[in-house]
Amino acid sequence: MSLLHAIKFNDAGLVPAIAQDAESGRVLMMAWMNEEAFRQTIATGFAHYYSRSRQQQWKKGESSGHVQQVTEIYLDCDGDTVLMKIKQTGPACHTNRESCFYKQQQDDAWVTIEEPMT
Amino acid sequence: MSLLHAIKFNDAGLVPAIAQDAESGRVLMMAWMNEEAFRQTIATGFAHYYSRSRQQQWKKGESSGHVQQVTEIYLDCDGDTVLMKIKQTGPACHTNRESCFYKQQQDDAWVTIEEPMT
C-alpha cells in the first residue's frame, strides 16, 4: 500500500491519529496507529488504532459499539501525524463523554466542562 | 504549577499538543511540548512547543511572525494529549499553507489539496 510509504512511523512503529467530528468539527480524541491499524482503517472505512497498553490493534467501538466511520483522512507536512474526519456513533470517550477533551484549563486548574452522556 | 501534575509527559518528557483554529475549527498542526513549553504557553498566552530535531523549546512564529494566540486549552481523559484553540496569525504550516494537514488520502495516494498562501 503506497499510502504507507509517506507515513513516518516512530521508533515504536506508531503514528498519532487525531479523530475530528466531520460535522461539528470538534476534536474527539487522539490515539495511535501502527501500520496494520492504518491498513484496516483504509480497508474497512472504520477507525482502527493500536493500544500501547494492550499491545494490540483494535477497532474503535468493537466492544462498546461506539464506532468511528471515517469520511476523510489527511497526513501532515512532516508525514508524522494523521487526521481523520469521522462520523462518531455514541460518545468517543471511554468516560462516555462526547470528546476525550473535556478538561479545560482555567487559571491553575483543569475543570471538567462536560458530563457523561446518559 | 499544578496544571502540570495532571499531564502525563512521555518517557522523553513530551506531550503532543494539537492546535485548532478557534474560529473555523480547522485542525492546523500537531507538535510536542515539554514542561517548559507548556509553562511558557500558559504564561504568555502564545503557543510554545519543543523541537525534537533542534532539541529546544520554541515559540511558534518567533522567526516567521506566524504566532498562535491561545484562547482555550484542554487536556484529554488520559492526560496525555493537549488541545489548544488558537488564533493563528498567517499560515500555521512551514510550507506557508493554512494547515499542516493539506495532503488528503484519495484511493492509494496522498493528494495535495491546498496551495501555499501568497
* C-alpha to C-alpha distances, B96 to A84, B8, B73, B90, nearest whole angstrom: 22, 32, 25, 8
Alpha-carbon distance B50 to nearest alpha carbon in chain A (angstroms): 15
Q: What's the topology of domain A2-91? A: Ubiquitin-like (UB roll) (3.10.20)
**Model pTM greater than 0.95?**
yes
Any chain B CB within 8 A of the CB of A65?
Answer: no
The minimal CB distance from B108 to the residues A2, A76, A78 is found for: A2
What pLDDT score was predicted for residue B73? Answer: 98
**Which DSSP category does B46 fall into?**
B
Q: Tell me which of 3.10.20.810, 1.10.1240.10, 3.20.20.70, 3.30.70.20 is the CATH number of domain B2-112.
A: 3.10.20.810
What are B49-96's pLDDT values in tens digits? 999 999 999 999 999 999 999 999 999 999 999 999 999 999 999 999
Q: Are strands A15-21 and A82-88 parallel, antiparallel or unpaired?
A: parallel
ipTM higher than the 0.85 cut? yes
Instruction: Determine whether the interchain pair B16/A30 forms a contact, defined as Cβ–Cβ distance below 8 Å.
Output: yes
